[in-house]
Structure formats: C-alpha cells, structure tokens
Amino acid sequence: MDLLSSKWILNLILCSLFIGVGGNSVEKKIYVHLNYTVPCVRLLNATHQIGCQSSLSGNVGVLHVLESEDNLDWVLKSGPNPPYLVILESPLFTRSIMMKLKNGSRRVAGVVVVAPNANPLEAFSPHTTCPNENSGVYSEDYDPALAHCNVTVWNPFGNGLAYEEFDFPIFSLKDDNDTHVIRQCYMEHNRAVNGSTPQYPLCAMQLYSHMSAVTNTATCMRRNDIDFSISPEMVCDPLGDYNVWASTRPINNTAKGHKMWESVVIAAARLDSRSFFFDIAPGADSGVSGFVTLLAAAHALRNATQEAPPNRTILYAFFQGETFDYIGSSRMVYDMQNNQFAVDLDNVHSVLEIGQVRKLIENLQSAAGGLNISMDEPSVSQPLPPSSFQRFLRARPIPGVVLEDHQSAFSNRFYESMYDNAEYLNISYPPNMTPEEQLEFVTDTAKALTEVATMVAKALYMQAGGSEPQLSSIKADAQIVTRLLYGFLVRSNNSWFQQLIPSDLMSHLGKPTNFYVGVTQQSSEPTLLVQHLLANLTGSTVNITQENCQNQREDENDKENKHMYYYMWVQGAAPPNSTQREGFCIRSTVRLSKALSPAFDMREYTSKDYSTWTESRWKSIKGRIFLVASHDLEMLTLGVGIAVLLTSLLLTYVISSKADMLFSSGREPTNATY
C-alpha cells in the first residue's frame, strides 16, 4: 500500500508543479463565486475550431474594467500587472476590440461581457454576413454567380465574432449583484488614479472553461474512438437533436420510402437559433416568429383538412440545427432519398417555408388593421435567402416558396444574437399583470402574427389543392398565438404548457427557452414543447387508458394504429376544487425524426455536403473573484513551493528506488491529461 501511494505522491507533486508554474498558485484572500455565468464554448467543424477556452486550471487575471477602446492600451501594453481579465460593457463588445484582445492574448487572461437589461439601439449580430455559405444550394457547380452571397449579403451587420477562435475564456454575466461586486472590487483596488500604479492587493478573477476537444471534428472523433476502447471518455459530440413533423392525413410511418398515391406539400420552419454565448439563444425573429406562425397555421387548418381534405397531404416540418449548415433539413432530405422516411422525395409536391417575419408584423401593426398583407415577389435575379428549402433544391428541383419579411438583406438587426428576444418583437404587457394574466393577454404582436398565420394557412390549403369555398373558414386563433409567444419568449413554465406535457417533463420548463441546438441524445426542450403543442393543436383526444396510450394502442387487440398515429399521455389540468391533475391521451400524427448530420452516420468527418459541427465536452464552467497579494509574496510562495517540491522529489526518489523491484508489476499511472 505504501508503495502504491508513493507513486501517487509523485504524481501529485508533478501536478502541483504544473499548476505552480502556470502562475495560478497565488495567495487568495477572499473568494466570491459568480452565480450566473454563461460561457462561450468550443465548436469544431471539418476544418476549424471556434469559440473559447481556459487552461485546465482556469485562467487568472487582474480585473480591468474597460472604459473605452482607447483604454485598451493599458491592457495590451502599459498596464504593470498582466495578464488582465477584461470586463466589457456590451457596447464595447465589438469586433474591433475583440480582435485586438485576441491579438494581444499574451496579456489577456479572459473577457467578461456584461449583458445589458435592455436591447441596444444599434445593430449587433455575431454571426457571419453570409449564413451557411457553403452548405446551401448555390456553389461552384450550381449558379456560382450567386454563391458566397455575391449578389446579396444577407446579414450585413454580421461581425463574425461567433465564428472566431479565442484562446481565453469569454463569459457573459447578467447586470446584477455579480457585476456589482466586480465593479466595486475594481473601483476599490485596481483603478489607476491620476496615472499612478495601482497597489497590491489587487482584485483578480479566475474563469474555468477548459475544453477537451481540439483542432477539428475528424481529430476529436478519432479521439472519441480511441478513448472508447480504454475508458468511455468522449471529447466531443455531434451537434444534433430531433426534427418534429406531422401530416394532415395519417401516413404509415412503419412503411418507409415511396408511397404510391401520396403527394405532400411540405410546410417548414426552423426551430433553432444561436448567439455568441452557450445558453442564451432566444431566436425571437430568426426562429420563434416563423415556427409559431406555422403552429398557428396548422391549428387553423385542423378543421378544414378534416372536413374537406385537399388532394395533397400537408406535412408540417420543424427543423432543428439549421444554424449549423442545415443539420435537420439535410437529414430529412437524406432520409427521403434513402427510403428511411415515411415519404420519399418523389412524393414531395412542393415546399412552403416560413422564415423571419418580424418586419411583416411591424408593418401590419402600423397599418392598424386597415391594410391586408401584400405579398411581393422579389425581382428575378434575387437568389434564395438562407433556408431549409435550399437543401431540397440541392437534391432536385422542387417548386417552393420561402416567406420572409425582407426583399434583399435581412431586416433583423440582431440576427443570431442575445438581443433577438421578446423585447425585439415588441412583446410587452400592461404593468402589474400576474403571469397567468400575461399568458392570456393578446398583445398587438400576437394579433399581427395571427394575420400572417391565417394567410399562411390559406396559402397552404390552396397549394395542397383544397377547395375554394373552405377558405373563408380558415382563421388562426389570436389567443393561441399570444400564448405561444409568451411560452417561448417569456416563460415556458406556464399553466398552458404544463397541461400539454407529460408530468416527467415538468422539470424542462423554465424561463425563456434556449434555442441553441446542443448535443442532446434525447430531444431538447424546444423539440419537446413543439412536439406536444403540435399534437394538441392538430390531434384529437381519445378516451383510452393511460396504459394503452403509452403502449401505442387503442385497446388490447389493436396492432394497426401505431403505424398511423402516435399516442401521448399528457398530464392535463386540475379540475376546480382539486389539486389532482386529470391526464388524458392525445392521438396525432406528430413524430420525431433524427436531426443528426448524415456525415456522422457515414463517418465522413470532412464532408463537404453535410454539416460536420461538433461541440467539445468540458468538465466545469465557473468563475470567482478574489484579492491577490503582492507580486513579491507570490514569488516567495513559489520559491517555498519549489523548495518543498525538491525536498519531496528527493524523498520520493529515495522511497521509490528502494521499492522498484517490489513494484515491478504495478500499473503505470495514466498520464493522458492534455
């Protein structure tokens, strides 16, 4: 036993040496742990890594609150106590400043961006100017003159920060108690007054966000494979989730591939969004406005498609992971081409896709209900904006329409940023309303979006070959629309959403939903919510037992319905005078289908056709602030540390040299840290 432990001691000492030299064994006086830290994390594709990371033991730097861009000199050149941990107010979170910090990363330990409580006036988009530039339909082979946004730069405000690589951690903090403590600590200890040098002790911050994966997807997937044989420690996971789809006529989902008589009109919207930081992706305009319109349209079409079914089936599709080179739509098209989906590409009659519609809402509001929606076709030379439809076109020429609120460049000023939120959609409530009252309050935004949904529903019905006389009865419900907007953009933990999900999913409900696609092996909160909402809005309740419902049958002898329908037991509401919820069974055609890039099934990690994005794993994300004592004291600590180390090394050497022959069969210590 003592022999084994001697090896361990050696290991531990080596470890502490590593940390000591890294400069992190400073004397810490006070610690304040930061409570709400949102990191930027590392993502990888076929060729690059993007995002941020700290060293294994966290990055430590002296706090510096940046007051203006001119003030950068202190951080990058003149300040006497590098490295610095730079606190940025959000207006200073610009490409110019971030790229200077990136270039001077020797003196930068990390960056904290203080998220404001209200949206800025000027535009901000950390996305690129040409979203999904390499994975749409235009390429060197197909209409090269339109490729790479040569004709239309879709996202002119894009500064590309979300696709840069930083070798220091970048966190976002809410503007509240945490940031108050930070500012106070900086003002008291670190601020250089009248050009003097600040005196020790100084206020410092430490950020942990070490990322396991490096270089690119091929490298980290290879690491995963190797590691799997030794220990199940993965370093990265493919981005992905599930698409949600449903059809107006039940389709046998067990029989994959071509259906003789089926002709479907695909009505599509995207579910996911992104921002610079990991778990803030409100996607109000870029995602929510579109898929809420589609949900409301599907609801508006429930009666008409049952009472006077149009000749073609409408297939509602909600795609996940579209931000990252069209993961969801490319997978569905791939499955359709390979007889892995309930209908195949030959069955697809046409596509109608709903993109960003915020501006449309705004126009409707300013017209005060007087005007009807007018639809303009963009001029002929206009390329198709970034859209899931592009992936269908890439496979074959299929007719289609993409409904957007912009003629050329996006009208969204906050595309894929943390400001693309409820405030940006002008969703607001009269003061002093309870959450329940807000849920039911029909906002002006909801009224306008209802108009858009009605128009979409009618267009879909006609496209599916429906009969003209039915059109007047198709109307979206403003009450449903306002609840949907509230649920996805303000609070998903509301009484309506609670009724529509099974009890075991209650823990998923919370604040505004985060629409970043993630790497969940099971479906994420947005997917689950849309799945259950779509079932409620297009399906019907059936009076069967919970057991039969969960076993996908209507009674004990039923073996056929599971091919055509999906059954979900939801917890329902509690009747008045009771606290016991009364669950019920919903029968619908709603299904989930994989939204995982085919590149991972084919193990083609350098694929040019399919998304190759993966997310690195990490062990801990945290931050804290403390006071560091003087530099001299630090050196003294280090000196003592080294002396102790040398003594122990000598000691260990003596012990282990005597132990060598006894220890010959011992296991080598794993030194697979990196």
Ligand X SMILES: *[C@@H]1O[C@H](CO)[C@@H](O)[C@H](O)[C@H]1NC(C)=O
CB contact at 8 A, 474 and 324 = no
CA distances (Å), origin 254, targets 228, 343, 562, 653 = 33, 11, 9, 67
Shortest Å distance, C-beta 545 to ligand X: 9
CB contact at 8 A, 283 and 125 = no
Q: Which is nearer to ligand X, 48 or 396 (CB)?
A: 48
Closest CA to 323 of 257, 400, 388: 388
Buried b (16+ CB within 10 A) or exposed e, 553-587: bbeeeeeebeeebbbbbbbbeeeeeeeeeeebbbb
Shortest Å distance, C-beta 109 to ligand X: 16
Shortest Å distance, C-beta 441 to ligand X: 16
Shortest Å distance, C-beta 46 to ligand X: 4
Shortest Å distance, C-beta 512 to ligand X: 17
Q: Which is nearer to ligand X, 132 or 523 (CB)?
A: 132
Structure token digits, residue 14: 């080596």
Rounded distance between C-alpha atoms, residue 206 and residue 60, angstroms: 4
Rounded distance between C-alpha atoms, residue 290 and residue 122, angstroms: 24
Q: Which is nearer to ligand X, 68 or 252 (CB)?
A: 252
Q: Which is nearer to ligand X, 298 or 425 (CB)?
A: 298
CB contact at 8 A, 22 and 35 = no
Q: Under the rule (CB under 6 A), what is the footprint of ligand X?
A: 32, 35, 45-48, 50, 100, 103, 134, 144-145, 150, 163, 176-178, 181, 193-194, 252, 254-255, 303, 311, 465, 496, 499-500, 536, 539-541, 543, 560, 563-564, 576-577, 586
Q: Which is nearer to ligand X, 88 or 425 (CB)?
A: 88
CB contact at 8 A, 125 and 413 = yes
Phi, psi of 269 (to 5 degrees): -155, 160
Residue 550 carries which side chain, given as an amino acid letter? Q
Name beta bridge partners: 567: 587
Q: Which is nearer to ligand X, 5 or 303 (CB)?
A: 303
Structure token digits, residue 549: 């419902």
Q: Which is nearer to ligand X, 7 or 299 (CB)?
A: 299
* Cα angle for residues 558, 594, 255 (degrees, 5° grid): 40
Q: Which is nearer to ligand X, 273 or 499 (CB)?
A: 499
Rounded distance between C-alpha atoms, residue 624 and residue 59, angstroms: 11
* Cα angle for residues 231, 232, 238 (degrees, 5° grid): 145
Rounded distance between C-alpha atoms, residue 390 and residue 384, angstroms: 8
| CA atoms lying within 13 Å on the CB side of residue 30 | 9
Per DSSP, the three-state class of 485 is helix
Name beta bridge partners: 352: 267, 401
Q: Which is nearer to ligand X, 590 or 596 (CB)?
A: 590
CA distances (Å), origin 127, targets 166, 274, 412, 418 = 15, 9, 12, 11
CB contact at 8 A, 308 and 234 = no
Shortest Å distance, C-beta 349 to ligand X: 11
Q: Which residue has the tokens 């690491």?
A: 223
Q: Which is nearer to ligand X, 103 or 550 (CB)?
A: 103
Nearby residues of 428 by Cβ (< 8 Å), 6 or more positions away:
443
Q: Which is nearer to ligand X, 564 or 659 (CB)?
A: 564
Shortest Å distance, C-beta 273 to ligand X: 17
Q: Which is nearer to ligand X, 289 or 611 (CB)?
A: 611
Rounded distance between C-alpha atoms, residue 190 and residue 202, angstroms: 6
> Quick check: bond before 83 cis, omega within 30?
yes
Q: Which is nearer to ligand X, 246 or 586 (CB)?
A: 586
Name beta bridge partners: 115: 174
Shortest Å distance, C-beta 116 to ligand X: 16
Q: Which is nearer to ligand X, 99 or 123 (CB)?
A: 99
Shortest Å distance, C-beta 619 to ligand X: 21
Handedness of CA 576, 582, 587, 592 (dihedral sign): positive
Shortest Å distance, C-beta 551 to ligand X: 17
Name beta bridge partners: 98: none
Q: Which is nearer to ligand X, 194 or 673 (CB)?
A: 194
Give the number of other CB atoms < 10 A from CB of residue 481.
Answer: 26
Shortest Å distance, C-beta 348 to ligand X: 17
- The DSSP symbol for 85 reads E
Shortest Å distance, C-beta 176 to ligand X: 5
Shortest Å distance, C-beta 432 to ligand X: 21
Shortest Å distance, C-beta 173 to ligand X: 9
Rounded distance between C-alpha atoms, residue 572 and residue 497, angstroms: 10
Shortest Å distance, C-beta 244 to ligand X: 16
